[in-house]
């Protein structure tokens, strides 16, 4: 019987390899200096998550609408894959606990402007769009020679996002 893959292996390897000493060396500083800024690896991880969240939020700011937010998010996940994976690890927890999620809230605000109503009324649609974009980001290959597959996945995702948005617009129009 074949062995089942250990889905948590990569995270444990990174966690074990990421020592404060290694981070200090990579940052060209000393370990004590790093500890003056961060109490432990957990503090450092939270700092990196906050920076990545801000970077994603800034990447979305000039988006004209929800489809453009989806497109820009896919671009962000491609260009900043490590940072995106860092954000994605606790997205479900943050969502279920109602923690602030600026990029998600920004998407809901754009949906309200495009479709009418309040941002809160578009929670489910925003969730569906996020699920499509996140799934594509996780499936998209990043290896050389697989660009065609990556492009097809992105195109399929954006087509599905557009279809969801059209369906939502038509539903709102019928319900008026």
Determine the pLDDT at residue 2.
56
Residue 82 and residue 142 in contact, taking contact as beta carbons nearer than 8 Å: no
Phi-psi region of 145 (alpha: psi -120 to 50; beta: other; left: phi over 0): left
Residue by residue, DSSP assigns 158-171 as HHHHHHHHHHHHHH
Determine the pLDDT at residue 158.
98
Exposure b/e, 59-72, CB count within 10 A at least 16 = b: bbeebeebbebbbb
Query: DSSP alpha helices (H): ranges in 28-119?
Result: 31-37, 41-60, 66-79, 81-88, 91-96, 102-115
Kindly state the tokens that stand for 175. 């319900």
User: Domain segments of the chain: what residues?
Assistant: 1-37, 41-174
Work out the average pLDDT over 91-102.
94
Q: What is the mean pLDDT of the chain?
A: 90
Determine the pLDDT at residue 16.
52
Determine the pLDDT at residue 160.
98
Asked whether residue 9 carries a pLDDT value surpassing 70, the answer given is: no
Give residue 176's pLDDT band: very low, low, confident or very high (50, 70, 90). confident
Please indicate whether residue 7 or residue 108 has the higher confidence score (pLDDT).
108
Residue 65 and residue 110 in contact, taking contact as beta carbons nearer than 8 Å: yes
Work out the average pLDDT over 52-72.
97
Closest CA to 35 of 51, 21, 17, 18: 21
- Quote helix, strand, coil % in the chain, to nearest 5: 75, 0, 25
Asked whether residue 84 carries a pLDDT value surpassing 80, the answer given is: yes
Work out the average pLDDT over 15-22.
72
Work out the average pLDDT over 110-119.
96
Determine the pLDDT at residue 141.
86
Question: How far is Cα 56 from Cα 106, in angstroms, rounded to an integer?
Answer: 11
């Amino acid at each position: 019987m074949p062995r089942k893959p250990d889905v948590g292996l990569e995270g444990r390897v990174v966690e074990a390899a990421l020592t404060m000493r290694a981070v200090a060396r990579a940052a060209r500083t000393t370990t004590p200096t790093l500890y003056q800024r961060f109490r432990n690896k957990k503090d450092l991880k939270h700092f990196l998550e906050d920076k990545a969240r801000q970077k994603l939020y800034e990447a979305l700011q000039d988006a004209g609408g929800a489809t453009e937010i989806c497109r820009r998010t896919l671009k962000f996940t491609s260009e900043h894959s490590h940072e995106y994976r860092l954000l994605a690890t606790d997205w479900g927890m943050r969502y279920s606990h109602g923690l602030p999620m600026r990029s998600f809230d920004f998407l809901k605000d754009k949906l309200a402007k495009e479709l009418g109503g309040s941002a809160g009324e578009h929670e489910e649609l925003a969730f569906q769009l996020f699920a499509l974009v996140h799934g594509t980001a996780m499936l998209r290959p990043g290896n050389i020679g697989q660009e065609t597959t990556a492009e097809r996945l992105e195109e399929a995702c954006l087509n599905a996002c557009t279809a969801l948005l059209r369906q939502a617009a038509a539903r709102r129009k019928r319900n008026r």
